[in-house]
Amino acid sequence: MTDFAQIPAHSGRSAVAGIMGWPVAHSQSPRLHAYWLNHYGIDGAYIPLPVMPDRLSDAINGLRAFGFRGANVTIPFKEAVIPLIDELTPVARLIGAVNTLIVDADGKITGTNTDSPGFLDNLRHGAPQWDARRPAAVIGAGGAARAVCAALLGAGVPEVRLFNRTFDKAETLAAHFRPYFKSPIRPLPLEEKVWEGSLAEVGVVVNTTSLGMTGHPPIALDLGLIPADAVVVDIVYNPLRTPFLAAAEARGLATVDGLGMLLFQARAGFQHWFGELPEVTDDLRAYVLQAMGA
Ligand code: ATR
């Protein structure tokens, strides 16, 4: 006989959200939201929404047509959805990328970006001793770096030293942010000598590139000159302990891994769609880690 308690509690009124991407099979978000829906006893569903790139516009209209509460947006659509939706929040406009869609009762779709607050919440949670009054060093100048820079400058750091292999991209990012914050972004080439000469006083060092991810080369930088009380953060979470974090730990530096950013960025979307601001707990982390096979 079936144990009825094991059947997911979906009714005809379930609030529905999901994650749009191509592919989405690798995403941990369905499991993460399922955990919270179950934990809070909410009548809702969060499902994978694989969208072929040439069907993105249809998919956005599908959210409206099916009465979705909203969706997360992942690679390769974070920028492509912008012209297809009705409104952007200021943070999404600043970062130029959307990872969360909110659909209202009339079908109006607002796009926001929760990567930025997710990064900051994870940093504060993982390293409460982090001093926002000290400069920050950020590696990379892509979309993830824009979210991280917005978070750090918003938190009040006096300067972001932005290192990128392609220097022009760091310069462009710095110029784009200039009108929005009183503290500057200083663009720098990703070269050992420049790196070593630019670490004085930094309170946090963040990798936003794919370096160190499974199948990618590690970051080839010496961590010896990072101040002993600085925090080192990697937004890569596959593997959880990247070579960059392992080297930082070996030096005795405090570290914060990338899984927390995934968990914290999901909170705001869940609250919009399902009406409860969920907590990031050790139990949730253990559940997602187990699902990742880590
Ligand atoms: P995302 O949106 O995830 O940030 P992205 O926009 O493609 O992805 O940005 C990737 C970042 O990783 C860039 O800063 C990129 O450097 P370039 O601007 O020089 O391309 C950086 N990156 C990727 N592979 C790298 C490598 N092998 N060495 C140094 N930087 C690398």
Residues 181 and 199 in one domain: yes
Q: What's the pLDDT tens digit per position in 102-130?
A: 999 999 999 999 999 999 999 999 999 99
Tell me, in angstroms, the distance from the centre of ligand 1 to residue 141's CA: 7
| pTM for the model | 0.95
Range of the domain at 72: 4-113+262-292
Q: What is the pLDDT of residue 150?
A: 98
Give me 52's structure tokens: 């072929």
* Alpha carbon distance 193, 195 (integer Å): 5
* Catalytic annotation present for 78: yes
E strands, 38-107, are 44-50, 70-73, 87-88, 100-103
Residues 159 and 250 in one domain: yes
| Residue 96 CB–ligand 1 contact under 6 Å | no
Residues 129 and 30 in one domain: no
Select from 172, 192, 209 the residue to mutate for testing ligand 1; criterion: most ligand atoms less than 8 Å from CB: 209
Per-residue pLDDT 10s for the chain (294 aa) are 888 877 777 899 999 999 999 999 999 999 999 999 999 999 999 999 999 999 999 999 999 999 999 999 999 999 999 999 999 999 999 999 999 999 999 999 999 999 999 999 999 999 999 999 999 999 999 999 999 999 999 999 999 999 999 999 999 999 999 999 999 999 999 999 999 999 999 999 999 999 999 999 999 999 999 999 999 999 999 999 999 999 999 999 999 999 999 999 999 999 999 999 999 999 999 999 999 887
Q: How many domains does the chain have?
A: 2
Tell me, in angstroms, the distance from the centre of ligand 1 to residue 139's CA: 9
Q: What is the pLDDT of residue 1?
A: 82
Give SS3 for 15: strand
| Residue 110 CB–ligand 1 contact under 6 Å | no
Tell me, in angstroms, the distance from the centre of ligand 1 to residue 140's CA: 6
Q: Which of 177, 131, 172, 185 is nearest to 155 (CA)?
A: 131
Residues 224 and 140 in one domain: yes
Residues 169 and 49 in one domain: no
| Residue 166 CB–ligand 1 contact under 6 Å | yes
Residues 138 and 241 in one domain: yes
- CATH value at residue 60: 3.40.50.10860
